[in-house]
Structure 1
Amino acid sequence: MDTISVLTLRLAEAIGLYMIVIGIGGLVAPQRWRAMMDDLQRSPGLVIALGFPVFAVGAALVLIHSIWTDPLAIIVSLIGYAALIEGALLLAVPGPLIRIGLWSLHFTRVWAIVSMLLGLALFLAGLTGRATISV
């Protein structure tokens, strides 16, 4: 896949690898996702402790990569904005996100497989893509 930036390729690889690893964790030990959601439901401090790095990673991605020129760049940029928004919501009004997280536990294996497949697609797009500037 062609993109305008080497940064897009490296971020796609990193995000894809993260999604693969999270997906493997969801398949191997889905009870950890349940335990995590239970912990978040009980501990407002933990929600803030989680919200801050999610917000920081999202903000960093948005600051260094807000590129809307090609499909891969758009996907990477959208992931950055999604992380920024998720972190902000965890810090400001975590209730709705926690409820969505609790509901999604009914589909842990499905989410894990989807995460692995999307992660693999992103990782391979980053690994095999080319950074070009077309004029």
Structure 2
Amino acid sequence: MDTISILTLRLAEAMGLYMILIGIGGLAGPARWRAVMDDLNRSPGLVVALGFSVFVVGVTLVMIHSVWTDPLAIIVSLVGYVALIEGALLLAVPGPLIRVGHWSLGFIRAWAIIALVLGILLFLAGLTGRATFSV
């Protein structure tokens, strides 16, 4: 896949690897995902720490990569904006997002498989892609 920037390719690889690891983790230990959600319910401090971390990752991605020139660049940019919004929601109004997280526990295997497949595709797109312009 051609993209405009080497940065897009490297970020796609990193995001893909993250999703692969999350998918493997969900398949290998679904009880851990349930425990994480239970921990978030019990610890507002953990919610703030998670929200801050996700927000910082999102802001950083948006600052270094807000590129809308090709499909891979758009996907990478969207991931940054989603992380920024998710982190902001966890900081400001975490309840609705945590409720969605609890609802999704009924589909851990499906989410894990989706994350694994999308992660492999994103990683391979980054690994085999070609940058036409280096930014």
Distance 2:63 2:49 in 1: 22
- Alignment correspondent of 1:110: 110
Look up the equivalent residue of 1:3 and give its one-letter code.
T
Confirm whether residue 122 of structure 1 aligns to residue 122 of structure 2. yes
Q: Which amino acid is 1:120 matched to? A: I
TM-score by length of 2: 0.98
Q: Which residue of 1 aligns with 2:49?
A: 49
1:74 matched to 2:84:
no
Displacement of 1:106: 0.2
Among all aligned residue pairs of Structure 1 and Structure 2, give the percentage whose two residues are the same amino acid.
Answer: 78
Runs of 4 or more above 3 Å deviation: none
- Compute the displacement of 1:95 (Å): 0.2
Q: Structure 1 regions of 5+ residues with no counterpart? A: none
Letter in 1 for 2:82: A
Q: How many residues align?
A: 133
Deviations 1:48-89 (A, max 9, x none): 010001000000000000000000000000000000000000
Distance in 1, matches of 2:66 and 2:44, equals: 31
When normalised by structure 1's length, the TM-score is 0.98
Structure 2: gaps of 5 or more residues: none
